[in-house]
Amino acid sequence: MQRLHFPPDSWYSVLFENPEIDVAIRKAFLTYERRPPRKFLLMAQLTFLGSCREIGRSGFFLEHHDESVMIDYGVKFTDPPSFPDMVSLDDMQGVALTHAHLDHSGGIPRILSNTEASLYCTPATRDLSVLLLRDLHNISRGRLPYTRKDIALVKRQCDATAYEETVPLGRHFELTLFNAGHIPGSAMVSIRVNGKRVLFTGDFNATESKLNLGARKNLPKHDVVITESTYARRINPDRAEITQALIETVLETVERGGTVLIPAFAVGRSQEIMCILEQSEISRKFPVYIDGMARQVNDILVRHPEYLQSPQSFTRAVSRTRIVHDNRDRKKAAESGGIIVSPAGMLKGGASHLYFKLLHDNPKNSIIFVSFQIPGTPGAELLATKKVSVGSREFEVKAEVRMHHLSSHSDSVGLVDLLERIPGNPKFHIVHGESESCDALADILKKKGRRANIPDINDVIEI
């Protein structure tokens, strides 16, 4: 065997020239010497991995000394799906997840499969994330950077964390979750590092709904805030007025003998509609049907009542709904003169396609949208033209079409109100919005004398 020669006095020379040193120890030192040294940061550094002037692939990487934490790691629904850049996960102390929506959670299994660090989120977020991640895996046809087995790590590595609970992460970080009011279990993530506090708002809604308590407004002092800006250019109508208008449209339809289709997101929006129908007593008089993934979401939220505005109301709403199992049930529901709540929220797929085909040509029926319809989706097309293409066929719609938008994000007023309340004169870094929305929120904050920055992807700041 050829003998290896190393410079005198090097680690290699000491290890390999001394036969008494255990082979395993030599291998360990050799591996360590070949590994690129990790930065030893005197100042904490935050890298913006995604969600910069865009909605999707949220991800933030916070480092101090030789330790790090990740906050969110989501997907953007491009073709194929895209994710934030990967970073070194050596010495990762924890992964924090604000909420279950896939633009924040969609890449979490990729991170967990490469680190033994724990995932920190509420129990509701943990269970909802597993449900959504499995669905993502099913529809992605193997184009994800992780396997279905990796999704199980979300539960296996999760250290379920309650609101207001402070958890130490390694030697340099502390984590606290605050209610974000966006969907059940959603949280703002506060990290204490290097004597400062950094707040990641995730998606938040300070307005109470029939399902959720509003986001916590009296937050503690923070030095840096990374905030969403989704609706920074919108003013939402009064929620009570929208709720009442929705109730009136539903009653007008069923009382004239029609059937109501409400295409709704499976997580959050479907459950809010159920609570509205229950509290208005509509569900006592007319049948209410629940289809698609919303059925499994209901089961999860029943197990986590602490994240609901009124657990009793939600339990009653669930008990008064009729579960749809197959196409035979769907045909009966369409003929029932009742209310059907079914994903997808923009008529892009799911069972709502079948219901639409069964209901579109009867003027007694109504199709009610309750969320923003992204331009180019069937829902947006239907609202604009009363025509829509489903599959290869174009439909002229005779059913009544309405929009009663029940937003799960704070609007411009709500965003600024909550952010201005945060003590400590923090610097704001604005993400999670189209470019114009980021600019709008930055302008508002600057006019109020606040410091505001709009980062680009992979920008690094010192904390």
Residue 3 belongs to a domain:
no
- Shared-domain flag, residues 99 and 164: yes
pLDDT for 353 equals 85
Asked if 205 and 405 count as a contact pair (C-beta separation under 8 A), the reply is no
The token duo for 244 is 């009442």
- Shared-domain flag, residues 374 and 420: no
- Shared-domain flag, residues 206 and 334: no
Residue 163's CATH number: 3.60.15.10
Q: What is the dihedral of CA 334, 251, 343, 213, to 10 degrees?
A: -150
**How many structural domains is the chain composed of?**
2
Tell me which residue range forms the domain holding 140.
42-234+408-462
Residue 302 belongs to a domain:
yes
Which residue, among 148, 154, 123, has the nearest Cα to 135 in the 3D structure? 148
- Shared-domain flag, residues 255 and 370: yes
User: Per-residue confidence at 374, pLDDT binned at 50, 70, 90?
Assistant: confident
H runs (alpha helix) in 97-223: 102-105, 108-112, 123-140, 148-151, 153-156
pLDDT for 32 equals 36
pLDDT for 74 equals 98
Residue 23 belongs to a domain:
no
Looking up tokens 């958890």, which residue turns up? 167
- Shared-domain flag, residues 323 and 365: yes
Asked if 131 and 170 count as a contact pair (C-beta separation under 8 A), the reply is no
- Shared-domain flag, residues 389 and 455: no
The token duo for 266 is 């499976």
- The alpha carbons of the chain give a radius of gyration, in whole angstroms, of 25
Q: How far is Cα 429 from Cα 378, in angstroms, rounded to an integer?
A: 34
- Shared-domain flag, residues 58 and 184: yes
**In whole numbers, what is the pLDDT of the chain averaged over residues?**
91
Which residues fall within 8 angstroms of residue 256, CB to CB, at 6 or more apart?
Answer: 364
Q: How far is Cα 316 from Cα 112, in angstroms, rounded to an integer?
A: 37
Write the single-letter amino acid at 15: L
Residue 18 belongs to a domain:
no
Residue 13 belongs to a domain:
no
Concatenate the DSSP letters of all residues of 233-245 into one string: T--PPPHHHHHHH
- Shared-domain flag, residues 436 and 413: yes
pLDDT for 424 equals 96
Last residue of a domain, which of 386, 403, 420?
403
Q: How far is Cα 83 from Cα 76, in angstroms, rounded to an integer?
A: 6
Q: Does the pLDDT value for residue 310 go beyond 60?
A: yes
- Shared-domain flag, residues 66 and 188: yes
User: Per-residue confidence at 40, pLDDT binned at 50, 70, 90?
Assistant: low
pLDDT for 19 equals 42
Residue 12 belongs to a domain:
no
User: Per-residue confidence at 299, pLDDT binned at 50, 70, 90?
Assistant: very high
pLDDT digits 0-9 by tens, 386-425: 888 877 788 999 999 999 999 999 999 999 999 999 999 9
Residue 321 belongs to a domain:
yes
- Shared-domain flag, residues 212 and 279: no
Last residue of a domain, which of 369, 384, 403?
403
Instruction: Say what the pTM is.
Output: 0.89
The token duo for 449 is 């004398």
Residue 258 belongs to a domain:
yes
pLDDT for 41 equals 64
Last residue of a domain, which of 374, 403, 432?
403
Residue 339's CATH number: 3.40.50.10890
CA 170 to chain centre: 26
Which residue, among 100, 97, 82, 87, has the nearest Cα to 144 in the 3D structure? 82
Q: How far is Cα 257 from Cα 449, in angstroms, rounded to an integer?
A: 56
- Shared-domain flag, residues 217 and 291: no
- Shared-domain flag, residues 201 and 293: no
